[in-house]
Chain A
Amino acid sequence: MVAARQQEFEQVALPHARALLRVARRLTGRSSAAEDLVQETLLSAWRGFHQFRPDTNIRAWLFRILFNTFYGQGRKLSGTIVPLSPAMAARTPSADDAIEVRRALDGLEADHQAVLLLGVVEGFTCREMAEILDVPIGTVMSRLSRARQAMRRSLERREDELLRSAGTGATVS
């Protein structure tokens, strides 16, 4: 019986580990912290799996647990800026757009990161994001709008830096 539940959990919950880790990685800024956060999220999910209703969106449920766990660890989303570690900055080649985009994202306020990751990357609706983040839907909508503006400004700043560095021959890290 327990083995069957474990197998079911593994089949329905673990396929989301990668998406959880992707978001956790940007929230925490560190690989080890992100893995710990996802591990705690999945263990909490397992402990509550007997209450999970089959018609519920398990992906949204897991992300809600992820953010609850993140808050529970004393992390505050509002106003927190996740700094780039020297190691991350050192391995950032300026020519790679994907890395540029992630650097720009890492430089945003964490509540802006959260709505961009959930809404744009993971494809959650505003209503689902409101439930995951436990904030009113209007807050999600306004955050999403501000987050896009911040992301655009951040990318433009990075591109200006690249253009300037290309002119001076300096490297951007």
Chain B
Amino acid sequence: MNCSEVLEQAPLFPDLQSAGEDIRRHLDGCPSCARQVAETRALDERLKAGVLAETFDTSALERRVMHRIAEESAARFTEDAMPARRRFLWPLAAFGTLAAAAAAMVSFVVYQSVKPKPSPYSLAAAHDHRLEVVEGQLRRWRLDIPSAEVMASTHGIPTALISAVESAGFTFKEAKLCKLSGVIFLHLVYLDGNQEFSLYLRHEDTNPAGGAKRLFTTEGGQEHVAGFRDGALEALVVTDQPGRAALRIARAAAQVI
């Protein structure tokens, strides 16, 4: 490959590991191209950091959208339920409309009031997963379950959970302790098929035991986070796979934990 082909194609890959062998070989032997590609990556990082630094609160927007969806669903329900002879049955239809709208409103309000809130550690977990698992920054991982169980037991996390997650069809890969926003979590990495995902666990002494597990999902950068609390145990699943995958993994983990 010549220099112009390399400079055109190298920035199209998320990292040089995923670029072709011929691109990597060219960059190894061409300092000028290597410098320009590095500059482009630095520009990309700066752009990404600059845009992601702007934060948005979408909670009001999300409430508006779900409210509109509830209204539209109620209207459609009534339309579908109306027979051809609707002019003879208009009082019933009108009652149906009002009842369906009221039911939708009530279910929406109830749902909003009990909807599980994302963990405050979600974004930190997404960032940690991106750096340590996706980008593979050098860290000291424990590669065997007994070592992971020792770390779990010293932080109040039931040791049996680590193997229990494997019984849900995932393969243990590695573990270490980490801090998310200053709070210690046990960071476990499992394989779902050939895709890695992170499971962050922590035990909070002050949280009362008991209560139903309620799943939440959210996103952080390119990662999807799903999680739940089970009494004093908090669990966060992070994956760069679609949000549906995060939810499926968290649901499977919740069943065995």
- Contact residues of A between 1 and 44, Cβ < 8 Å to B: 2-3, 6-7, 9-12, 14-19, 21-22, 25-26, 35, 38-39, 42-43
The answer to whether A43 and B46 touch (CB under 8 A), given A58-B242, A98-B53, A123-B222, is no
Number of interface residues of A (CB under 8 A): 50
A122 lies within 8 A of chain B by Cβ: yes
The answer to whether A97 and B68 touch (CB under 8 A), given A14-B62, A15-B224, is no
B21 lies within 8 A of chain A by Cβ: no
B215-257 near A? 1/0 per residue, CB < 8 Å: 1011100101000000000000000001110010000000000
B38 lies within 8 A of chain A by Cβ: no
> Which of B7-15, B83-91, B174-182, B196-204 contacts its partner?
B7-15
B185 to chain A, nearest CB (A): 21
B69 lies within 8 A of chain A by Cβ: yes
Query: Contact at A39–B51, with CB atoms within 8 Å?
Result: no
Number of interface residues of B (CB under 8 A): 42
B28 lies within 8 A of chain A by Cβ: no
Query: Contact at A120–B44, with CB atoms within 8 Å?
Result: yes
List the A side residues contacting B215 at CB < 8 Å: 11
- Determine the residue in chain B with the shortest Cβ distance to A34: B56
Q: Select A38's contact among B61, B70, B77, B224, beta carbons within 8 Å.
A: B61
A49 to chain B, nearest CB (A): 9
- Determine the residue in chain A with the shortest Cβ distance to B218: A15
A26, A99, A117, A120 pick with most chain B CB within 10 angstroms: A120
Q: Select A19's contact among B11, B44, B219, beta carbons within 8 Å.
A: B219
CA distance A22 to B47 in the complex (A): 13
Known: A18-B219, A102-B50. 5 other contacts (CB 8 A): A15-B217, A21-B58, A25-B56, A116-B47, A120-B47
Task: Please name 20 pairs of A and B residues whose Cβ atoms are closer than 8 Å in the assembled complex, sorted by A.
Answer: A6-B66, A10-B66, A11-B217, A15-B218, A17-B58, A17-B62, A22-B51, A39-B64, A58-B244, A98-B53, A101-B49, A101-B50, A102-B54, A117-B51, A123-B14, A123-B222, A126-B12, A141-B8, A151-B43, A155-B46
* Residues of B near any A CB (own CB < 8 A): 8, 11-12, 14, 40, 43-44, 46-54, 56, 58, 61-62, 64-66, 68-70, 72-73, 77, 107, 111, 115, 215, 217-219, 222, 224, 242-244, 247
